[in-house]
Amino acid sequence: MNKRLIIAVFLALLLGLGIGYWFAAEKFQPKVETTPVPRKPLYYRSPMDPAVTSPVPRKDSMGMDYVPVYADQEQAAETAPGTVRIDPVTEQNIGVRTAVAGKETLSHVVRAVGRVAYDEERLVRLHPKTEGWIETLRIDKTGEWVKKNEDLLSIYSPQLVASQQEYILALNNLKALEKSPIEDIRRGAEELVKSSRERLKLLDVPAHQLRDLTRTHEIKKTLHIHTPAAGIVMNIGVREGQYVTPATELYMIANLSTVWVYADIYEYELPWVQVGDRVEMRLAGIPGRVFEGHLAYIYPYAEPKTRTIKVRLTFDNPELLLKPDMFAEVTIFAGRKVDAVTIPAQAVIRSGARNQVFVVRAPGKFEPRTVTLGLASNGKVAVLEGLEAGEKVVTSAQFLLDSESKLREVTTKMREPDEPADLSSKPLPLPTPQNSGNTDGEAEPNRHEGHRHD
C-alpha cells in the first residue's frame, strides 16, 4: 500500500513540474514578428484580353493597368486562350527547338551590280556662241587627252568679224577723245571700249587673240576655241568646213579621274544604307583589284519595273582603269547599326495581319505573343515591342503549336461559363508522324471486337 502511494505521489510531482515548465516557457518566450516577403509577378496580363501579356508593367489603350500574374496563379493563368501545354515526349517527337532573345547590334551588307558612268560634274559639252564655219579642226580624234585651255579648232563667223571691227573703232575713238576737256565725252569713249571688249569675251574669243587685236588692230578672219577643262575627248560633233550654230555640239570632254557607279538596291535594303557608307567594287576586267569609294546619293524615287532604288557611288580613278559602261560587283557596308532585342527570323509566324512568336513560360508550356518587328539581317530580326531580352522563343515546330493554340482558344470561347477548363488544365499530345492514324478516314478496327458485349 505504501509502495503504490509513493508511485502516485512521484507521478503527480512529475506532472506538476512539466506543467510549470510549459507555462514558464510560454510566458517568457520572446515574440518574433515576421515580415511578409513581397511576391514577384511572373508577367502582366491585359485586363481586357488575357491573351495579351507583357513582361513589364504597362497600360492598355484604355488606360487600364495590366494585371500581375504570380507563381501561385500560374495554374489559373494557364487557362488563358491560346496557351499550349504538351508533354515532354510529344515535344521531342515534333522537334521543338528554342532560342534565347538577346540584345545585340545588327549590321548589314548590301551586294549589287553596278555600272560605271561619267562624273557629270566633270563632263563638258562645248557649243559655239555664234554661227559660222569650221576652218581648222586641230583635235580630230576621240579618246585624245586635252589640257585645260588647249586650242581645239578655228571658226570663221561674220558676227565675230563685225565685233572685232566695233572694238577697233572703239579703240580709235578713245584715242581721239582721251584728251577732250569734256569729262562726259571721255567717259563715253571709255565705256564704248569696255562694252566692245566684253562682247568679244562673251563670244569666247581667247585672251591671247584679244591682246593681239588690242595691240595690232588687225582683224582676224578666224578665231580659236579652247577647251575650258582638261579631260578625254569622248565625242566630236563637227568636221572641217561644216556650218555650225549654237545648237551644234562641237566636243564632249570628260574628266575620268573620278567616276560614278550606279547600282540598284531592293526596298527592304533601303533602311540600312545612308549617304557616306563605305563601298568596295570588283570588276571582271580588272581581276585582283578592289576599288574603294563611298555612297554619294540615294535617288528619291523607285524604278517602276524593277521596284528597286538607284544609288550613286563615287570612286577615284587616277590610273584611268575604270571606263564608262563597265559592269562591276559592288558591296555596300551599311553604316547604320541597330541595337535591339533580336531573335532568329524563323521564330516569327507571319500571318499577314500580325507577327507572332511562342514564348516558353515553363517546361512544356508555350504562350503565343504578338510582337512588333524592326530591321532584319543575317537571319536575325529586331523586336521592337512584345519581347524582352532573356526570354526563350520557339524556333521550330511553331506551326504545330500555332494550330494547337488556335484550337484551344476556340474551344475555350465555345465552353460554357460554368464548364471546367479541362482542355488547358492538362497537356494534350499533338499529332506526330508516329501516331497520326489512318489517312483513308476509316476507323481502326477494335482488337477486342470478339469480346464485345451487346
Write out the three cell numbers for 213.
Answer: 587685236
Query: Is position 80 within any domain?
Result: no
Among 280, 313, 336, the domain-final residue is 336
The verdict on residue 201 lying in a domain is yes
Q: Does residue 235 form part of some domain?
A: yes
- Only one residue has cell 505504501, namely 2
Return phi, psi of residue 128, to 5°: -75, 155
Residues 123 and 94: their CA atoms lie apart, in Å, by 65
Residues 152, 227 contacting (CB under 8 angstroms)? yes
Shared-domain flag, residues 155 and 204: yes
Q: Are residues 183 and 235 in the same domain?
A: yes
Task: Find the length of the chain.
Answer: 454
What's the pLDDT score for residue 184?
Answer: 83
pLDDT band at 175 (very low <50, low <70, confident <90, very high): confident
In a domain, 355, yes or no: yes
For residue 345, what is the domain's CATH number? 2.40.420.20
Q: What percent of the chain has pLDDT over 70?
A: 79
Asked whether the predicted pLDDT for residue 433 surpasses 70, the reply is no
The answer to the question of residue 166 being in a domain is: yes
- Within-domain flag for 454: no
Domain around 169: 146-241
Average the pLDDT over each of 96-105, 356-365, 384-393, 399-408 and give the range with the smallest value: 399-408
Question: Using 50, 70 and 90 to split pLDDT, how confident is the model at 89?
Answer: confident
Of 315, 336, 357, the position where a domain reaches its end is 336
Query: Tell me: the pLDDT tens digits for 252-300?
Result: 999 999 999 999 999 988 988 999 999 999 999 999 999 999 999 999 9
Is 220 found in the same domain as 275? no
pLDDT tens-digit series, residues 363-378 = 888 888 888 888 888 7
More confident residue, 119 or 407: 119
Residues 327 and 350 in one domain: no
236 and 272 together in one domain: no
Q: Tell me whether residue 183 is in a domain.
A: yes
In the DSSP assignment, the letter for residue 453 is: -
pTM score above 0.85: no
Specify the pLDDT at position 437. 40
pLDDT at 160 over 70: yes
Q: Is residue 99 part of a domain?
A: yes
Q: Are residues 172 and 259 in the same domain?
A: no
Neighbours of 437 (CB within 10 A): 9
Question: Rounded to the nearest 5 degrees, what angle is found at the Cα of 232, between the Cα atoms of 226 and 236?
Answer: 65
pLDDT of residue 448: 40
- Note whether 66 and 60 are within 8 A (CB): yes
In this predicted structure, the answer to whether residue 162 has a pLDDT above a threshold of 70 is yes
Give residue 114's pLDDT band: very low, low, confident or very high (50, 70, 90).
very high
Is residue 345 domain-shared with residue 327, that is, in the same domain?
no
Q: Are both 269 and 347 inside the same structural domain?
A: no
Domain count of the fold of the chain: 3
Grid cell digits, residue 303 = 524604278
Pairing of strands 43-45, 53-54: antiparallel
pLDDT tens digits for range 409-431? 665 555 444 444 444 444 545 55
Give CA–CA dist 7/10, Å, rounded: 5
In which band, very low, low, confident or very high, does the pLDDT at 90 lie, cut at 50, 70 and 90? Answer: confident
- Could you say which of 241, 265, 294 is where a domain stops? 241
One domain, residues 99 and 113: no
Using CA atoms of 222, 224, 225, 228 in order, give the dihedral in degrees to the nearest 10.
Answer: -160
Q: Residue 141 belongs to what H/E stretch?
A: none
Average pLDDT, the chain: 81
Mean pLDDT of 163-178: 88
Mean pLDDT computed over 158-165: 91
Percentage of residues of the chain with pLDDT beyond 90: 33
